[in-house]
Amino acid sequence: MLELARRLTEAFGVSGFEEEIRTAIREEIAGTVDDVRVDVLGNLVAFRRGAGEGKRVMLAAHMDQIGLMVTHIDEKGYMRFAPIGGIYPLTCWGKQVRFTDGTVGTVGLDGRARRNEAPELKDMYIDVGATDRTEVKQKVGDVATFIYPFMAQGNAWFASNHDDRIGCIALVQLLRQLKGVNLPHDIYAVFTTQEETGLRGATTSAYAIEPEIGIALDVTLTGDLPYATPAMEVVMGKGVAIKVRDSGMIGHPGLNRLLIAAAEAAGIPYQLEVLHAGTTDARSIQISRAGVPATCLSIPSRHVHTPSQVVDRRDVEAAVALLEVFLKGPIVLP
């Protein structure tokens, strides 16, 4: 899984511009499913046929990541930008970014901004090393994202976009492990687009699939940081987190009980997640059409939405193991 993680985290995929990461995932899942298609919004929908005696299960992990979009280029070639998704200004200054064409830039801070005060995005620009606007290949509307190489250090994995490439990694690994395994359920593994800008890909794909069960794979915050506020029980390295509640949804209690029972029966480490702010594709699945029993399996991650996010390999493995066990058995909601 290490090389898979490296490839997927280093692929480009800002919300709305997921072509590179979609191609990488499609290549990685080749031969593991019965059908693969790309829908109108760019979601990669992989279908794995079951034995016909189970549920229609949608598993969702979003391909997109946060980024920056050019809004103005001045005469010297400096580019102002708008955020795509939730960007913390404090984490931007001095960071390297990459555009879709491979152009690299650095985020600079206006000279008029006070260095000892929290910066704002309006005070920042992207510098690609140009001395004149004519040297800049980019145009208004082009997007860039932070570039940091994937690094593994013990059980810790570092990347700029674990939100939500780590969910994609887990879903690809699950499909690999289920190859040739007889399952009762029809599985729709959906690598969704534009989650960071409003859960758009999951909204349309869930409408089309009409799942009977929905499970998202995403990251969550942790309570194991110094002076973590608000307090949170989830910690890195202690297992996959089963979502009880976030600011957009309440995980389906019956589905959560089945997942907990499967984890305990198989000895898979798990935690219960109550997230104060933020939500996932599970919200869009849950309220699709007449409603879907849905929840989320979360990978605890430190420093979410910053250029250097951290997860624990063991939590990723626990998420894959739990889904594998869960999907092999019947799904009867209490």
CA distances in angstroms from 164 to 44, 60, 64, 127, listed in the order given: 15, 10, 7, 27
CA distances in angstroms from 146 to 24, 113, 288, 321, listed in the order given: 18, 22, 33, 31
d(CA 323, CA 328): 9
Q: Is 2 exposed, middle or buried (0-12, 13-18, 19+ CB in 10 A)?
A: exposed
Choose the catalytic residue: 195, 196, 317, 324. Answer: 195
296 near 234, Cβ under 8 Å? no
CA distances in angstroms from 305 to 91, 143, 220, listed in the order given: 9, 17, 11
CA distances in angstroms from 69 to 17, 98, 120, 142, 158, listed in the order given: 11, 11, 15, 6, 24
| Count of other CB atoms within 10 angstroms of residue 265 | 10
Pull the structure tokens for residue 37. Answer: 């298609």
Half-sphere exposure of 95 (CA within 13 A, CB side): 22
Query: Is 53 annotated as catalytic?
Result: no
Question: Active-site residue numbers?
Answer: 195
